[in-house]
Amino acid sequence: MAPYEALYGRKCRTPAARDRQKSYADIRRKPLEFKEGDKVLLKVSPWKGVVRFGKKGKLKSTFCWTFKIVERIGSVAYRHELPEKMQGIHDVFHVSNLRKCLADETLTMPLKDVQVNEKLKFIEELIQIEDSQTKFLKRKRLKLVKVIWNLQEVRNLLGNLSPK
């Protein structure tokens, strides 16, 4: 018998610690459901990411690759379509390890106008000088020039493709 019950002769009406903790956890919990054919990102732990997925490094992302959901198994598990290089990994994951992939495959940039050198750096060429002015400081004169580079067209294209 609990001390409260022995003293007062009735059960305590305050919620137990487990109930209180559950209510705190339920506030942040949101139900996740996916359909067959949805693309999802898989969350991997740091150690398993190195061992199973070859993801290492200090600044690596927590989520790896996008996978397509093949079927739903129960209420909280999903079977995925894994590539051939991941044949040793089980293809069923819990919903807590998945995030919806928000990338839109229709927003791809054509790379025919982009020039790259042998070190895979963009080659920037001067197209036009738009404006120039001189800024006077206490003891210096700075010449400011506004230039349009060929890479600017690529940046404009990327800006137009980004979702608003």
* Tens-digit pLDDT profile for residues 89-128: 888 988 888 888 887 767 666 666 666 778 877 777 778 8
| pLDDT tens digits, one per residue of 1-34 | 888 889 999 888 777 788 888 888 888 777 888 8
Distance of alpha carbon 107 from alpha carbon 162, whole angstroms: 7
What global pTM score does this model have? 0.49
Name the domain count of the chain.
2
The type of residue at 83 is P
Is 153:128 a contact under the CB 8 Å cutoff?
A: no
Q: Quick one: 73 and 120 in the same domain? A: no
Q: Which two tokens stand for residue 143?
A: 């010449």
| pLDDT tens digits, one per residue of 34-79 | 899 888 988 876 655 555 556 566 666 677 778 899 999 988 899 9
Q: Quick one: 89 and 114 in the same domain? A: no
Q: Quote the domain boundaries for residue 113.
A: 106-164
Q: Which two tokens stand for residue 71?
A: 């079927």
Q: How many CA atoms lie within 13 A of 125 on its CB side?
A: 7
Q: Quick one: 94 and 114 in the same domain? A: no
Residue with tokens 């959901």: 69
Is 92:86 a contact under the CB 8 Å cutoff?
A: no
Instruction: Indicate the SS3 state at residue 113.
Output: coil
* Residue 14 located in a structural domain: no
* Residue 72 located in a structural domain: yes
